[in-house]
């Protein structure tokens, strides 16, 4: 078989040039984005890249992920095979056959087997798409383009079949069949054909393979299969911070705040948008999407991409934009304000994305723009913002009342040399009737175990969590600086919090202000007290069937899943029952991201969705680890009329076991 090079070489050259041009165009679009440093800690980045990209760590968490794993690795091997194929077309004498025999034979065997695996994986993927697609695979944008997915799969199938036919024909023409068992089967299908017929079969198979391969390569940068090119670098360039930590803003005149137009996103945000595989996993877990809010994290990513593709060329030439990034109504390429306000910053999307796209930070960046540059936000938030700024708590209660919950405990001031822990009570723990009981439980447990602790009392300020997630970075920045200054001045080093939001803010967000504190959630403290034998539980308590609800800010944002469960086991004698959606896949209570202070006007209620899930198991107790979850679960139980179920914080469960 010989290849007509006068046709192949120009075809190859045009394809390569066109491919490079497409990639260059995409890179140019990405470079429109704002600066962001993603090259620090290279070892950590490499390690992550190996496990997320090459190990497909997140991909394989879903059953069909295994299929993708097979395809991914088949691609890796076939990269070599196809590289050889394309080069051999240019220089017929250059091929892997030049390698020493055993190695060449092993490679031939591997390529044959891997091609078969790829073919099987493609058939499985095709059947899934056509016969039993999961609901999250499509939405109104992607189903319009589902033909693209099918086309790509079909092309891969064609490539494999052409590969086998080619080698089958070559075997018929005298190649050895020993190392190509699958091609040998194809050879037997061709058996009996004349040499000339075999020659032309081989030539046809070769050309089909070549043309499909070149078209495939050129489709990549122009479709969602761009991820084949960008996913691996994207995992390397992932955020090494906690998922909800976004770079600070600097407040100087003439600066812009947040993201109101596409080029204000960082280059990494833009790369993310081109990397989305449209797998739909984020949509599947999103509490807002699942309760019919106008938010879908995947759509946010998609809209950024669509906006970039539409506005990018004009931007590159320094012309104006035509498509708004944020508007009242949602359109392809434009996010609606309503969608942006629906996010609870639960982090499920960020946590599940197989290619490490950071959806939620993009939402918060756009909120920053709305609050700080446009003063556009749901009207309930005006009160919250004023209360936070003037009285440093969300309810606007007099700061002088902050210490009132603890009057029975006597004066418990924090003094740097005398007290080990600062108990950072938090606004809920100090002002919310129900959460105050949890504060008392935590304080009592610490006293029983002989922990040395103190509080800031009236001087304690709000940590600013809600403000930051709502995009009011300016006021958050002021509050964070005040807090950091106070912690340093008072010599605080170790902090216990009774709220995952204070916990995460003090621990992760304040690090951006140069404050390294040892912050622990009360469940962590209690666990160390029990394992260190400082706290002995005289008996176990019976709380009936107890179901544990993961707080997003303790779980997904800080990866504390086992600690509260261990405490429950210690206090009740048995492990808690689990929600259907638990741990990493847990479902938000609906209060995070400042949603606690907003009306829930669209769709159904997130807390009711979660409580309904709990009630299926007929629990007696719902155990939480967060004051917001407490409020949302209690409200949900009332709204769904389930009076028999009690909601307890994990500290209260332990306190119950301590009660003699």
Partner 1 sequence: MLVISCIKQVPDTTQVQIDPETNTLIREGIPFIVNPYDTHALEEGLSLKDRFGLRPVALSMGPPNAEATLRKACALGVDDAILLSDRCFGGADTLATSRVLASAIEKLAEQEELGIVFCGKQTIDGDTAQVGPGIASRLGLQQLTLVDRIVHLDLEKKRIRVRRKLEGRHEIVEAPLPVMITVVRELNRPRYPTVPMRLEAEDVMVKTWDNSVLGLDVETVGLKGSPTWVSKIFSPERDQGEIIGDGINDPEGTANLLIEKLLSKDLLAI
If one asks whether residue 257 binds partner 1 (CB under 8 A), the answer comes out as yes
Q: Which of 3, 34, 397, 640 binds partner 1 (CB under 8 A)?
A: 397
If one asks whether residue 270 binds ligand SF4 (CB under 6 A), the answer comes out as no
> What does the alpha-carbon distance between residue 133 and residue 448 come to, in Å, rounded to a whole number?
56
Residue 373, binding choice from ligand SF4, partner 1, none, Cβ under 5 to 8 Å by partner class: partner 1
If one asks whether residue 101 binds partner 1 (CB under 8 A), the answer comes out as no
CA distances from 457 to 115, 367, 415, 423 (A): 68, 32, 12, 10
Q: Using the rule CB under 8 A, give the single segment among 87-95, 216-224, 431-439, 610-618 that binds partner 1.
A: 431-439
Q: Which of 21, 24, 54, 251 binds partner 1 (CB under 8 A)?
A: 251
Contact (CB, 8 A) for 622 and 648 = yes
**Mask 305-344, x = binds ligand SF4 (CB under 6 A)?**
--------------------------------------xx
Of residues 147 and 320, the one with the C-beta less far from ligand SF4? 147
> What does the alpha-carbon distance between residue 491 and residue 452 come to, in Å, rounded to a whole number?
15
> What does the alpha-carbon distance between residue 458 and residue 398 come to, in Å, rounded to a whole number?
10
Residue 360, binding choice from ligand SF4, partner 1, none, Cβ under 5 to 8 Å by partner class: ligand SF4
Q: Which of 379, 489, 516, 599 binds partner 1 (CB under 8 A)?
A: 379
Q: Which residue has the tokens 């490539």?
A: 159
In angstroms and rounded to an integer, the radius of gyration of the C-alpha atoms of the chain is 29
Strand partners, 331: 334
Of residues 587 and 597, the one with the C-beta less far from partner 1? 597
State the CB neighbour count (10 A cutoff) for residue 293: 22
If one asks whether residue 659 binds partner 1 (CB under 8 A), the answer comes out as no
CA distances from 252 to 34, 246, 510 (A): 17, 18, 21
- Cα–Cα nearest to 342, from 324, 359, 325, 323: 359
- Cα–Cα nearest to 372, from 304, 295, 463, 467: 467
> What does the alpha-carbon distance between residue 387 and residue 394 come to, in Å, rounded to a whole number?
6
Contact (CB, 8 A) for 428 and 591 = no
| Residue 324 Cβ vs ligand SF4, minimum distance, rounded to whole Å | 20
Q: Using the rule CB under 8 A, give the single segment among 21-29, 392-400, 558-566, 618-626 that binds partner 1.
A: 392-400
Q: Which of 246, 259, 357, 591 binds ligand SF4 (CB under 6 A)?
A: 357
Q: Which of 42, 253, 318, 532 binds partner 1 (CB under 8 A)?
A: 253
Q: Which residue has the tokens 């078969």?
A: 116
Residues 554-585 as b/e (b if ≥16 CB within 10 A, e otherwise) read bbbbbebbebbbbbbebbbeeebbebebbebb
Of residues 343 and 451, the one with the C-beta less far from ligand SF4? 343
| Residue 287 Cβ vs ligand SF4, minimum distance, rounded to whole Å | 5
CA atoms within a 13 Å half-sphere pointing along the CA-CB vector of 76:
10
If one asks whether residue 385 binds partner 1 (CB under 8 A), the answer comes out as yes
Of residues 217 and 295, the one with the C-beta less far from ligand SF4? 295
Q: Using the rule CB under 8 A, give the single segment among 52-60, 179-187, 398-406, 559-567 that binds partner 1.
A: 398-406
Of residues 134 and 399, the one with the C-beta less far from partner 1? 399
If one asks whether residue 297 binds ligand SF4 (CB under 6 A), the answer comes out as yes
Residue 347, binding choice from ligand SF4, partner 1, none, Cβ under 5 to 8 Å by partner class: ligand SF4
Helix or strand run (H / E) with residue 361: helix 359-369
Of residues 390 and 518, the one with the C-beta less far from partner 1? 390
For residue 211, what are its two tokens?
Answer: 């043309």
Q: Which of 400, 574, 604, 617 binds partner 1 (CB under 8 A)?
A: 400
If one asks whether residue 359 binds ligand SF4 (CB under 6 A), the answer comes out as yes
- Cα–Cα nearest to 303, from 280, 270, 328, 279: 270
Contact (CB, 8 A) for 647 and 630 = yes
The residue ranges that bind ligand SF4 (CB under 6 A) are 276-282, 285-288, 295, 297-298, 301, 343-349, 352-353, 355, 357, 359-360
The residue ranges that bind partner 1 (CB under 8 A) are 251-253, 257, 371-375, 377, 379, 382, 385, 390-391, 396-400, 433-434, 437, 474
């Amino acid at each position: 078989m010989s290849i007509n090079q006068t046709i192949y070489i120009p075809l190859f050259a045009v394809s390569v040039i066109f491919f490079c041009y497409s990639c260059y165009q995409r890179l140019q679009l990405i470079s429109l984005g704002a600066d962001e440093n993603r090259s620090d800690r290279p070892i950590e980045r490499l390690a992550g890249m190996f496990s997320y990209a090459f190990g497909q760590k997140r991909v394989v968490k879903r059953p069909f992920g295994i299929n993708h794993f097979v395809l991914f690795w088949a691609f890796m091997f076939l990269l070599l095979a196809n590289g050889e194929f394309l080069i051999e077309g240019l220089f017929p004498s250059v091929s892997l056959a030049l390698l020493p025999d055993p190695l060449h034979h092993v490679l031939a065997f591997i390529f044959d087997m891997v091609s078969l695996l790829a073919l099987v994986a493609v058939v499985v993927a095709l059947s899934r798409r056509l016969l039993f697609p999961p609901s999250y695979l499509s939405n109104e944008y992607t189903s319009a383009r589902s033909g693209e997915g099918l086309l790509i799969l079909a092309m891969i199938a064609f490539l494999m079949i052409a590969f086998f036919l080619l080698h089958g024909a070559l075997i018929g023409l005298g190649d050895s069949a020993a190392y190509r068992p699958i091609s040998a089967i194809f050879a037997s299908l061709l058996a009996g054909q004349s040499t000339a017929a075999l020659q032309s079969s081989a030539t046809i198979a070769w050309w089909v393979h070549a043309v499909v391969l070149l078209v495939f390569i050129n489709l990549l940068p122009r479709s969602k299969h761009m991820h084949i090119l960008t996913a691996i670098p994207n995992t390397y360039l992932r955020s090494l911070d906690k998922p909800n930590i976004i770079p600070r803003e600097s407040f100087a005149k003439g600066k812009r705040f947040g993201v109101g137009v596409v080029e204000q996103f960082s280059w990494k945000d833009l790369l993310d948008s081109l990397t989305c595989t449209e797998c739909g996993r984020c949509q599947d877990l999103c509490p807002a999407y699942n309760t019919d809010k106008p938010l879908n994290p995947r759509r946010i990513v998609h809209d950024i991409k669509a906006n970039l593709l539409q506005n990018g060329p004009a931007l590159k030439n320094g012309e104006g934009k035509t498509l708004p990034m944020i508007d009242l109504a949602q359109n392809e390429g434009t996010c609606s304000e309503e969608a942006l306000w629906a996010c609870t910053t639960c982090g499920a999307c960020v946590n599940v994305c197989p290619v490490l796209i950071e959806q939620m930070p993009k939402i918060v960046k756009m909120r920053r723009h709305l609050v700080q540059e446009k003063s556009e936000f749901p009207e309930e938030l005006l009160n919250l913002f004023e209360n936070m700024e003037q009285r440093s708590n969300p309810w606007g209660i007099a700061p002088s009342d902050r210490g009132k919950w603890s009057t029975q405990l006597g004066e418990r001031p924090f003094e740097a040399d005398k007290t080990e822990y600062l108990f950072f009570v938090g606004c809920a723990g100090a002002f919310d009737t129900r959460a105050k009981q949890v504060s008392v439980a935590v304080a009592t447990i610490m006293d029983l175990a002989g922990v040395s602790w103190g509080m800031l009392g009236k001087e304690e300020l709000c940590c600013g969590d809600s403000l930051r997630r709502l995009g009011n970075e300016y006021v958050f920045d002021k509050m964070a600086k005040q807090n950091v200054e106070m912690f340093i001045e008072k010599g605080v080093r170790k902090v216990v919090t009774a709220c995952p939001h204070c916990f995460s803010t003090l621990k992760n967000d304040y690090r951006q202000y140069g404050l390294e504190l040892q912050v622990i959630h009360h469940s962590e403290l209690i666990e160390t007290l029990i394992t260190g034998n400082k706290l002995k539980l005289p008996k176990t308590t019976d709380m009936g069937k107890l179901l544990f609800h993961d707080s997003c800010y303790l779980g997904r944002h800080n990866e504390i899943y086992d600690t509260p469960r261990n405490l429950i086991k210690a206090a009740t004698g048995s492990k808690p029952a689990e929600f259907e959606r638990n741990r990493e896949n847990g479902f938000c209570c609906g209060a995070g991201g400042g949603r606690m202070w907003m009306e829930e006007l669209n769709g159904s209620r997130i807390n009711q969705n979660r409580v309904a899930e709990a009630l299926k198991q007929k629990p007696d107790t719902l155990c939480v680890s967060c004051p917001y979850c407490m409020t949302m679960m209690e409200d949900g139980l009332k709204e769904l009329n389930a009076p028999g179920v009690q909601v307890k914080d994990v500290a209260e469960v332990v306190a119950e076991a301590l009660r003699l």
